[in-house]
Amino acid sequence: MMFPPVGQCIYCGAREYERGSTRRLAKEHIVPMAIGGKWILPEASCKKCERITGRTESIALNNHLVGPRRRLGLRGRTRASEAVKELPVFVAGPDGDVKVMIAVEDHPSALFFLKLNAPPVIDRLLGRWFEPPSPAGVFVKIFNLKEDVLKERYGITEWATPSLDLYTFCRMLAKIGHSYAIAKLGIGSFHPVLTQSILEEDRNSARVLPFVGGVPEEPEEAALHTVQEGTIKVAGIEMVGVRIRLFAQFGAPTYLVVVGTKGKGPEVLPVGLPVGRDVPHSMSKVIVPGRSDRLT
């Protein structure tokens, strides 16, 4: 789906792709093209911001979802001639995880997501104690699991999914939510709260985390991905929220991102929540097939 062009960078406000350039601003793939995103927002990103959001997506997707992407034929700009013939799995060894390369036809690709509680900012506005985003459970769907083949050909009886970096994943969700809200509502229709977090590459910052959470489990849907914007009213504050469900047709979790406020400015939200310093660096993985709920 192609939305109307914006005409300025939705992250920093620049009106040129780069200083002195006559090139139009770059189009923004709201859901990354690398996982089959079809929503496009034209003339919406400058060169600097395009590179930052691209790096975030690359970190979030190239490791965590490399197997499912290739299993489902979601390769972004990769040419067929460049397709790999092997993919890694990770096996616990005496000195840490050991990477074992598996032929694509034998590779047990894992679609792995953390389930999250509601965005912490909502608890804070209601005057309740809050916690930083933390797993409320795990979702795992394994494609092409051939336990006998793994054991006989590769000597593997238990393996781990690639790690999910919660901080980077939340930044990617923030980028999806912010750009979708701009596409649906128009720039200037709300006061954004996530642009600094989207552009901020300091891993010691946790500003994005209070605004990203999850919703209760929902049934599978027909679409690969679903995104929907709406209004959240808490303690007299009207906020813009975006529900994001990547890989909805497989029953993956739905995330809720608070992207800004209407009417009142963003200063009414507790932006600087004192979340734990360990959260931005948290790396999670699941051990299979020894049981897919063994989160480490």
Q: Please report the pLDDT score of residue 293 as a whole number.
A: 43
Residue 60: per-residue pLDDT: 86
Torsion over CA of 141, 144, 145 and 151, rounded to 10 degrees? -150
pLDDT score recorded for residue 81: 44
Q: Is the peptide bond before 289 cis (omega within 30 degrees of 0)?
A: yes
| Residues in the chain where the model's pLDDT stays below 70 | 75-83, 129-134, 202-206, 270-283, 289-296
Q: Which DSSP string corresponds to 24-91?
A: PPEEEESS-GGGT---EEEEEE-HHHHHHHHHHHHHHHHTTTHHHHHHTT--TT--GGG--SEEEEEE
Q: What is the pLDDT of residue 294?
A: 45
- Cβ(237)–Cβ(97) below 8 Å: no
At 47 the pLDDT is: 97
In this prediction, what percent of the chain has a pLDDT beyond 70?
85
Predicted local distance difference test score (pLDDT) of residue 124 = 83
How do 255-261 and 212-214 pair as beta strands?
Answer: antiparallel
pLDDT of the residue at 289: 62
